[in-house]
Structure 1
Amino acid sequence: MRSVLSRSRGRALRGVCAGAALALLLCAAPAGGAAASAPPEAPSAHPSTARAVRGIPGEIPRSADPRVAAWQRLRYGMFIHWGLFSELGGVWKGKPVTEGYSEQIQMWANISGKEYAEVADRFRADRFDPGAVCALAKDAGMKYVVITAKHHDGFAMFDTGTTDYDVVDRTPYGKDPLRALARECRAQGLEFGVYFSLVDWHAGHSFDPDNSNPIPASMEPLIEGQLRELMTGYGPIAEVWFDMSAPTAAQSRRFARLVHRLQPGATVSSRVWNNAGDFRVMGDNEVPDVPLDGAWQTPASVYHETWGYRSWQRREDKPGKIRSLVRGLLSVRARGGNYLLNIGPRGDGSVVGFEADVLRGVGAWLKRHHRAGFEASATRFGGQPWGEVTVDGHELYLHAVRPPSDGRLRLPGLATRVAGVAEDGPGGARLDWHREGDDLVVQLPEHPADPVLPVVRVRLRGPLRLVPDETVDLGADGRGTVTAKDMETGHGYADEGSYRSQRRTTVRSTAYVTTARGGRADVRFAGEADPGTSYRLTVGSRSRTLSGRALMSGKPLSFSLPRDRVVPVTLTRAHPAHPGEDLDARVRRITLTP
């Protein structure tokens, strides 16, 4: 993984600690101490420069779009896959269906429409309890609930006037469970969202293992009619989780606009396709291994094998499952994403006890580390070899997901002074720590207090700032060259209308420089860029828009560089069509001269 802070320290602040005896002393001097007696620290001084350097802000900001930012603040939610498929529980005609997810059993068992519709005759859902579901979500620490309004089988789990193939008209249950759940979410202070499949086997789509069916014009009135019902009959909607199919770009835009028009506060998932969504959905249970720019979400399931209820699913090692899901939640949150964790109730509406216990176990950990695991924000540290890093104000949290054998957590590039270090949670003991240059080194206790995942709380003396390992020192004369290997790359995703077409893109290129000289500097780029594309070049707090032709012309661009500060030099598109549009530029070299 190439994070903002590389795991190798070899490239950081490329200067030479040489010359004056004072500089040599500064290079060798320790920068910290034990927690009980740590002296006040000077600003971050990297050993290779022996200069006090002001780092960049370390917290990853939320989206500038208020609607998306409000969705990001939800952080962690409950996904519910429930429908006719739940009644079958992964079994058809007495035999387990082992291929595919159980919510798609109609396809994998090749069940006819007539036989599948007959399952509705026994769908009583007499143990569905919206109050208990919402209480479980809150016990798990979740802030919102997203439920399947309609899956690929086309069976509507709400009262719709577009078809009688729905839970009210076809089942003994005869009620609208979504309306009851939406009402209960509001009563218990949770946000409400819906999953909506664009694949509909009942309306005419054929079985396709890739679920990449195009949407014929004849199906559009059904989809739009059902979306209007969902967007107008269930109160405020926080999230619409579209899924699968292969719509045209015009269809994707129309579906997303319909949601935004009727629910101005709702966010739309990227699986509406053609880059028309508000946030990008990762693959199932996927944690990205590169830094992502923009809003994104990981959908996760208690079991990776299925989302819908499976009666024969192996349910074992509850402590291990809790630990695994806590790690997944933290990895997503520390990288800036939302985590949507799924349960699959039985056909009668009851939640599987194992799943409820696991969710409560995750919630118990969050209660012990509420600020660290929920309130805290993502940081630019990225994933570390030993775990994850979050921040809440002047409190930095080190999550020891993979504690090293010697128990030493090394956090590279911390530019903020440290006031103290302790285990997080009730009665957390103070821990030994010291500074090595701008690295913080913490010694974990031999037996951490938290049995699930230990967390270290670092009290900072100011806002979080860091010195990226890629930072290049321009030296005393203010001259230097940044090559491609010294640049940080920000990524996004784009698609061409279907799941299989989704691809990772490069949306940002950033170099970090610092100089003891300060003042005006000429910046020259070498590389390739689309000549007609408008790019935004930002140096520190100043930006300039120019064409790809002008950017790569070799002509100097003048900017002011403050002294002894890490200055980001960032290239993005000036007017991207969507957040994941590829930069379409390759920077090979940046030259800076006074």
Structure 2
Amino acid sequence: MQINNQGLQGIPGEIILDSPEPVKSWRELRYGMFIHLGLYSYLGGVWQGEKIQKGYSEQVQMWADIPFDEYKKVASHFTLEYFDAEAICRLAKNSGMNYIVVTSKHHDGFCMFKTKTTDYNVVDSTPFGKDVLQLLSEECAKQGLKFGVYFSLVDWHQGHDFDFDNNNTIPESMEPLIEQQLTELMRHYGPIAEVWFDMSSPTKRQSIKFKKIVRKYQPGAAINGRIWNNEGDFRTLNDNQVPSDRLDGAWQTPASIYNATWGYRSWQKRDNFDLKVYQLLKGLIAARARGGNYLLNVGPQADGSLVGFEEEVLQAIGEEIKRHPEAILKANPTKFYKQEWGEITSLGQDLFLHITNPPEDNKITLSGLVSRIDEVVEDQTNQKLVWSKENLDLKVILPDQLKRKNLIIIKVKLTEPFYLIPGNTVSIGEDDVWKISEEAMEYGYNYADQGNYTSLTKTNIRQSFYLSNDSAGEVSIRIFGNSRPDYIYSVKVGSEKITMEGKDLLQSEIGPFNICLTETIIPIHITLANPDYFNREMELEVESIHVSLK
């Protein structure tokens, strides 16, 4: 706990995103480039002179109902004569990105790498005749970027029918091919940081089998949640989804410059450049402030060149990151609740206020800050701002010239470690009982699935509340509501923890737990004790909680 000169106390405010390996190393990558490149890039969302306006353009074979014999002819036009791995990696680095993930095989089954499983690949069937993954992986290593691969579990070339939801099951007859292609990918392209599975409806057994292949050859690779059946190391959210609240656990937002497609689309409108840069920066900042990684996609053309508009967007984002070297990528989430005016990140004794929704009166307020402040400045220019702090409320006035900027980031320099009072802190009542209503609960969320994309649901994996305390002794807890009788729950008060079955959780008092005067803010967390996967729903509905001082 931290005590300031007003006698106020709090809890550490910065959230350090720590996880077991390989997730820990993956989370430190934070921002990466996604590349969708394949035969669909040549068609560009057009078939027989008609714009195909349904669906993503990388799935044009399905949306235009193109017969395989016709679609495979595209390979003879897939020249990639301007493909430049060195330039792509240089762009990623200059844009502030730390890794690249490229499509090794999309739903059309065309492989962008040399494989013994089929000649339907970029080396054997195109004028280019080179292994795109090899070129990119080698260049990533030279430039200090991490390398990852996308792999579709849907494969129209190998027998899957078109399914608009891409929820095809995987027949056992397809398993050997998937296993061999995964093995090739894991063995031939150096260290892999991320394996990005996509779509289909594998069984639990199949998800585990594919995961074991990755673990065998690439133990340092983090596996995304679209391997399904909750076997991934981190959760990939829906396409272009930035969560409304901070999430617990490891997760990623996959974002595209245009929400309507990931693969190259020749007729895509490319306008409102400044707005596009701002929207993507806002998504990146929100993902970082809420604890996630951000993977931003580009869709090169069939000649291998990047679309100029996309390249310039990435460069503009990179320039903003360079102007704010700590605030966007290096800083961590905080325990502050969501603010109407924007997002908050922190790094040591520096807070960064990202003003993405500036108020009309030019005044912003941040409530709950305990630590003393040295100064408040505009992050890029170090221009000093007018501010005041009364009790726990920091008030800052935004000059008019700042509001004319696309990106406003304010640095709050603290004179001591960063501590705060959580917004839902509950005070003790006259009867020596803290009464916590459902509204005072803090919920930790993530997402779980039941085996495919359309089954992805938001799950509650933690319930927390905070007690304002000026006493010492023992407390006991009484929970009112509903729980899953056969689940094992953990109730943690400060550093003490008790586990019990759900059938006992609501039947009697839990405790005792020891508290002392130095614990003036007591955090209490309820979670599942040993969930079989990190994002399992708790199935605990709390109506109220009473904490009694003995």
After TM superposition, the score normalised by the length of structure 1 is 0.90
Q: Which of 81, 102, 107 lines up with 2:62 in the alignment?
A: 107
CA contact (8 A) 1:522 1:593 kept: yes
Alpha-carbon offset, residue 479 of structure 1: 2.3
Within a 5 Å distance, the mapping from 1:173-212 to structure 2 comes to 173-212=128-167
Which residue in 1 is equivalent to 2:383? Answer: 429
User: Aligned pair in 2 of structure 1 residues 472, 299: CA closer, same or farther (>3 Å)?
Assistant: same
Within a 5 Å distance, the mapping from 1:93-104 to structure 2 comes to 93-104=48-59
- Superposition misfits of 4+ residues, deviation over 6 angstroms: none
Q: Which of 477, 502, 510 lines up with 1:523 in the alignment?
A: 477
Which residue in 2 is equivalent to 1:33? Answer: none
1:43 aligned to 2:43?
no
Which residue in 2 is equivalent to 1:36? Answer: none
1:438 aligned to 2:357?
no
Alpha-carbon offset, residue 556 of structure 1: 4.1
Which residue in 2 is equivalent to 1:545? Answer: 499
AA partner of residue 493 (structure 2): V
Please say which of residues 517-526 and 239-248 is displaced more in the overlay: 517-526
Unaligned runs of 5+ in 1: 1-40, 46-51
Within a 5 Å distance, the mapping from 1:212-251 to structure 2 comes to 212-251=167-206
CA contact (8 A) 1:421 1:433 kept: yes
Alpha-carbon offset, residue 428 of structure 1: 2.0
Which residue in 2 is equivalent to 1:165? Answer: 120
Within a 5 Å distance, the mapping from 1:326-345 to structure 2 comes to 326-345=281-300
Deviations 1:125-161 (A, max 9, x none): 0100000000000111000000000000000000000
Which residue in 2 is equivalent to 1:474? Answer: 428
3-state SS, counterpart of residue 448 of structure 1: helix
AA partner of residue 395 (structure 1): D
Which residue in 1 is equivalent to 2:252? Answer: 297
Which residue in 1 is equivalent to 2:78? Answer: 123
Matches of 1:476 and 1:414, distance apart in 2: 27
Matches of 1:306 and 1:322, distance apart in 2: 17
Matches of 1:363 and 1:587, distance apart in 2: 45
Alpha-carbon offset, residue 409 of structure 1: 1.5
How many residue pairs match? The answer is 547
Alpha-carbon offset, residue 450 of structure 1: 7.8
Which residue in 1 is equivalent to 2:406? Answer: 452
Matches of 1:315 and 1:153, distance apart in 2: 26
1:484 aligned to 2:438?
yes
User: Aligned pair in 2 of structure 1 residues 526, 44: CA closer, same or farther (>3 Å)?
Assistant: farther
Alpha-carbon offset, residue 519 of structure 1: 2.1
Matches of 2:189 and 2:430, distance apart in 1: 64
Matches of 1:91 and 1:313, distance apart in 2: 11
AA partner of residue 383 (structure 1): K
Alpha-carbon offset, residue 531 of structure 1: 2.3
Please say which of residues 260-269 and 441-450 is displaced more in the overlay: 441-450
CA contact (8 A) 2:429 2:435 kept: no
Alpha-carbon offset, residue 532 of structure 1: 2.4
Q: Which of 401, 405, 419 lines up with 2:374 in the alignment?
A: 419
Which residue in 1 is equivalent to 2:343? Answer: 388
CA contact (8 A) 2:195 2:222 kept: yes
Matches of 2:337 and 2:48, distance apart in 1: 49
Within a 5 Å distance, the mapping from 1:233-382 to structure 2 comes to 233-382=188-337
CA contact (8 A) 1:524 1:557 kept: no
1:69 aligned to 2:69?
no
Matches of 1:199 and 1:121, distance apart in 2: 23
3-state SS, counterpart of residue 384 of structure 2: coil
Alpha-carbon offset, residue 477 of structure 1: 6.4
Alpha-carbon offset, residue 290 of structure 1: 2.8
3-state SS, counterpart of residue 525 of structure 2: strand
3-state SS, counterpart of residue 420 of structure 1: strand
Deviations 1:258-302 (A, max 9, x none): 111210100111011000001101111111113311000000011
User: Aligned pair in 2 of structure 1 residues 415, 475: CA closer, same or farther (>3 Å)?
Assistant: farther
AA partner of residue 455 (structure 2): S
Matches of 1:556 and 1:382, distance apart in 2: 28
Matches of 1:53 and 1:548, distance apart in 2: 37
Please say which of residues 134-143 and 458-467 is displaced more in the overlay: 458-467
Deviations 1:316-364 (A, max 9, x none): 1111111111101000000000000000000011000110000000000
CA RMSD in angstroms, aligned pairs only: 1.5
Which residue in 2 is equivalent to 1:409? Answer: 364
Alpha-carbon offset, residue 561 of structure 1: 2.1
AA partner of residue 452 (structure 1): N
After TM superposition, the score normalised by the length of structure 2 is 0.97
Q: Which of 458, 470, 475 lines up with 1:504 in the alignment?
A: 458
Matches of 2:276 and 2:88, distance apart in 1: 20
Alpha-carbon offset, residue 493 of structure 1: 1.1
AA partner of residue 43 (structure 1): N
Which residue in 2 is equivalent to 1:582? Answer: 537
Structure with higher RCO (Cα < 8 A, 6+ apart):
1
3-state SS, counterpart of residue 9 of structure 2: coil
Residue identity over aligned pairs, in percent, reads 49
Alpha-carbon offset, residue 222 of structure 1: 0.7
Alpha-carbon offset, residue 490 of structure 1: 0.9
CA contact (8 A) 1:63 1:294 kept: no
CA contact (8 A) 2:3 2:10 kept: no
CA contact (8 A) 1:44 1:438 kept: no
Unaligned runs of 5+ in 2: none
3-state SS, counterpart of residue 326 of structure 2: helix
User: Aligned pair in 2 of structure 1 residues 556, 579: CA closer, same or farther (>3 Å)?
Assistant: closer
Which residue in 1 is equivalent to 2:354? Answer: 399
Matches of 1:451 and 1:485, distance apart in 2: 37
Which residue in 1 is equivalent to 2:521? Answer: 566
Matches of 1:449 and 1:496, distance apart in 2: 45
Alpha-carbon offset, residue 550 of structure 1: 2.5
